[in-house]
């Protein structure tokens, strides 16, 4: 089901994924992060391939979801929520991405709002995510949505040495806000 939301530059439609979307998402991430200034290597592209394939292979519509934000049929962003395979009470936010044209227009906030609402409806107690400290815009979005950093670790999984962060949002039960 599509959800109409308003962003600064006109109507924004948020819909669930359909065939072809997951490969497009992997392509958009690769094009962005395997180029300057990030310069991630082919291991990042391999991770993306595994991530989108894992989403499709394990997709359970009542517990998992991927949303695509569009304006006039043009891709503006995406985000996915998957059940934590080790804890059925927890979910993981994956693949949050906004197109350059959409940054600062509310697209990321709209996607996170839809994701958190679905996570609550699905009965999850928490949502966690893994991001990189250098992604300042994404970090601001997560913080405004109530996520908190629970772990940091330096790594060079995709070439450059960077700091990874795990963030968590408590939804219900003990520790929920």
Compute the average pLDDT of residues 143-163.
Answer: 86
SS (H, E, C) 158-176: CCCCEEEEEEEEECCCCCC
Structure confidence by residue, pLDDT tens digits, 98-129: 998 888 889 999 999 999 999 999 999 999 99
The structure's pTM equals: 0.87
Q: Is the pLDDT of residue 138 over 80?
A: yes
Higher pLDDT, 94 or 33: 94
Compute the average pLDDT of residues 141-158.
Answer: 89
Higher pLDDT, 158 or 7: 158
What is the predicted pLDDT for the residue at 175? 42
Rounded Cα distance between 79 and 30, Å, is 15
Q: Is the pLDDT of residue 59 over 80?
A: yes
What is the predicted pLDDT for the residue at 9? 55
Compute the average pLDDT of residues 149-154.
Answer: 91
Which residue shows structure tokens 């693949």? 95
Is the peptide bond prior to 129 cis by the omega test (within 30 degrees of 0)? Answer: no
What is the predicted pLDDT for the residue at 1? 42
In a domain? residue 108: yes
Task: Give the confidence band of 150 by pLDDT, cuts at 50, 70, 90.
Answer: very high
In a domain? residue 10: yes
In a domain? residue 146: no
Task: Give the confidence band of 155 by pLDDT, cuts at 50, 70, 90.
Answer: confident
In a domain? residue 36: yes
* CA dihedral sign, ordered 171, 172, 176, 177: positive
Structure confidence by residue, pLDDT tens digits, 7-56: 445 699 999 999 999 999 999 988 988 788 878 889 889 989 999 999 99
In a domain? residue 87: yes
Please calculate the CA angle 44-133-58 and round it to the nearest 5 degrees. Answer: 45
In a domain? residue 145: no
Please calculate the CA angle 107-166-53 and round it to the nearest 5 degrees. Answer: 70
Mean predicted lDDT score pLDDT of the chain: 88
Domains of the chain: total: 1
Compute the average pLDDT of residues 64-86.
Answer: 96
In a domain? residue 141: no
Q: What is the CATH number of the domain that holds 52?
A: 3.40.630.30
Q: Which domain holds residue 104?
A: 3-124
In a domain? residue 164: no
Kindly give, in sequence order, each residue whose CB lies less than 8 Å from that of residue 137, ignoring residues fewer than 6 positions away: 98, 103, 104, 108
């Amino acid at each position: 089901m599509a959800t109409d939301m308003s962003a600064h530059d006109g109507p924004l439609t948020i819909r669930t994924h359909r065939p072809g979307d997951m490969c497009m998402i992997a392509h958009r991430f690769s094009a962005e992060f395997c180029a300057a200034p990030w310069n991630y290597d082919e291991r990042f592209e391999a991770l993306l391939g595994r991530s989108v394939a894992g989403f499709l292979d394990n997709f359970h519509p009542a517990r998992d979801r991927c949303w695509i934000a569009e304006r006039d049929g043009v891709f503006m962003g995406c985000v996915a929520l998957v059940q934590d395979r080790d804890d059925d009470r927890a979910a993981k936010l994956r693949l949050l991405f906004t197109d350059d044209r959409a940054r600062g227009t509310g697209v990321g906030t709209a996607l996170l709002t839809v994701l958190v609402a679905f996570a609550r409806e699905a009965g999850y107690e928490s949502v966690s995510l893994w991001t990189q400290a250098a992604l300042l815009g994404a970090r601001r979005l997560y913080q405004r949505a109530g996520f908190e950093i629970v772990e940091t670790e330096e790594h060079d999984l995709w070439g450059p040495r960077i700091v990874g962060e795990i963030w968590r949002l408590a939804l219900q039960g003990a520790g929920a806000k």
